[in-house]
Structure formats: C-alpha cells, structure tokens
A = this chain, B = another copy of it.
C-alpha cells in the first residue's frame, strides 16, 4: 500500500506512491535535451557589452577582465523601491502599496553557462552577490521578507536563457513563510529544540536520504519530499538568517550547491529546476527556532488538480531511492 508522509517542518502531507513509483532513471527519459546555445548572444541584455540595457546596477563582483557577477534592478520589477508602505483595509478587501525590491543577479558573463558547470569560485561569486544584497536590503525598514530564487529552464518559469537568479524583497511576510514560522515555534515550545536541527541530526543518523555532505552543509531528500528529487541543503550550524553565513561557510555552500546541481544535471539530464533560499523574516534575527536553508525542486513532474485542490502532493518516487541514485552520480570535481 502507498504511504502518507507528513513533513514535520511544513506540516504538508504527501502520498508516496510506492507501487506506482518509477525508478529514478525513468524520470530521465522524459527530459528533452536542450538546444545548443552560443556563448555570446549579441541581443541579450545580460551579455557583456549590453550593460546599458539593464537598469541601475546595484552590485558587481569584479574580475581581471570586467565584471563576473552583476546585480541589477529587474526590468519588469513587480515591486518598486520608491514610496511608502500604505495599507488599506476596506471590509474584506485588503491591499498595500507594492514597495520592495525586485532584482536580477546576472550569474556569469557567458550566455551558455549553467550553475552545474561553473567552478566553485564562480558559484561563490554568485553567493557573495546574494549575501551582499540580502544584508543591504535588510536595513530597509519597509521590508519584511527577502526571497532569493532561481528559475532554470522554461518549465521552471524563465524564458531568458542567460544564467540569472532573482531577489524579491516584500513589505509583508508572505503567509506561507509566516505559517512555517508558526510551526517552528510550536515545535520549539513543545520539544525545546529547533525542528530543523533535529531533522538534520536524524537524517545524519539514518543516512538513507543523504545526497552529499560537505564541511558546513548537508544535502538530502526530505522524508516527505513533495516531488521526485526535491532536495534540501541545510547548514549544519544553527542560524536563522541567510546572511549569518560566515565566509568559510559561503565557500563550502558553493562546493555543496555546485556538487548537488551537477548531480542533478548529469544524473537527470539537465532538467528544469527552481531553487530558493528560505530565510527568516528580516525583523526576526538569530532565533532558536528557525533555521535557514536552500530548497531545490527539479521539475520532472507537473502539478495538477489534486495538488491545487488539496495542497497535498503525490510523489511517484521513493525519497530513499532518489537519494541513493543522486548520491551515486559521479560528477567532475
């Protein structure tokens, strides 16, 4: 019989369809190879030489031959950095001015690069840009939450090929984040410990779902993964906010992320994916109960009506098998 598993961190339930489960390599066959891409695309606004086409540059990591990573305001920013937070409540209608930040992190000068194939130093440059913008934006008193995320491939929601990720800073705490905090607090009040630390220590003890361990980070597939190859990368040291990241940890996260994304790239034939950094709202800091982490979601299946109607998911893979599969994928170092 299939099994329902509950994710204790999100409280989400997932149906692990054991009998219907596909072998890890069966997911690969559905993934179409990407058409070849040039290293330089003259009409790409993110390619070198077209810097004037992007809006105000907010940060750059410089190299010997110009920039290596640039952060610019999103051309189609959904949030505006000008103006005040004004909240209007009119009966059941509640709205607010969309002040905030919406930025693009241009990850590399080359149009055809992808994180899985970068060097560790190049991934560290991207993380440096993330951290710098995170720390800077956090100071703005209008901001409540900062979300850093990447859409890789059309199925993951991007149409722009040049490697990039995004940062959105919102003037409210999104409900999903608020609820995770509430659950984390509830667990802390009951058990006197961080639910993330507890989960990590259990995973390291059982060792069934670990994908990759480095000095400061552990990548694993959650026990109640909502979809195949859904991955979490947790810092070993308890920290609530992404910008608590120390320099040595940042370098090690680059090693971990790059290795895990390379395993996904080589093992699953470069599927579309999203990743996102889940950090505590900016006003809360260094709590005992919340632990920041990175979540990676390869898009090898589609969300359908059942998920929309219930918020529950059906996962047609076994987390333990998927973890073993990725653990065994050899990647060039």
Chain A residues near B (Cβ < 8 Å):
1-6, 8, 10-13, 15-17, 20, 76, 78-80, 82-83, 91-99, 145, 147-151, 155-158, 165-166, 168, 170-172, 174-177, 179, 195, 198-199, 202, 223, 274-278, 295, 297, 302-306, 308-312, 314
Contacts and interface: CB of A to CB of B under 8 A. Distances in A.
A1 B80 contact: yes
Point out which of A4, A147, A156, A158 has the most chain B C-beta atoms below 10 A from its C-beta: A4
Nearest to A203: B92
A293 to B, nearest CB: 11
Contact of A3 (B8, B10, B97, B150): B97
19 contacts: A1-B80, A3-B97, A5-B93, A5-B96, A8-B94, A145-B310, A147-B310, A149-B306, A149-B309, A151-B304, A151-B305, A156-B302, A165-B305, A168-B310, A174-B310, A175-B311, A177-B310, A295-B308, A295-B309
A187 to B, nearest CB: 9
For this chain, the copies found in one complex come to 2
Contacts of A310: 145, 147, 168, 170, 174, 176-177, 276
Given A78-B15, A175-B311, A177-B311, A95 B306 contact: no
Contacts of A199: 92
B305 A96 contact: no
Across the A-B interface, the 7 shortest Cβ-Cβ residue pairs: A176-B311, A157-B304, A276-B309, A149-B305, A2-B98, A274-B305, A174-B310
Nearest to A165: B305
A329 to B, nearest CB: 23
A6 B305 contact: no
Contact of A304 (B94, B98, B156, B179): B156
Given A93-B223, A172-B13, A312-B174, A304 B158 contact: yes
A195 to B, nearest CB: 7
A58 to B, nearest CB: 18
A24 B313 CA distance: 31
Chain A contact surface mostly: mixed
B155 A302 contact: yes
A8 B78 CA distance: 21
A274 B4 contact: no
Contacts of A13: 170, 172, 174-175
Given A83-B1, A91-B202, A309 B148 contact: yes
Contacts of A10: 175
Nearest to A223: B93
A90 to B, nearest CB: 9
Contacts of A314: 78
A2 B309 contact: no
Contact of A93 (B12, B17, B82, B202): B202
A12 to B, nearest CB: 6
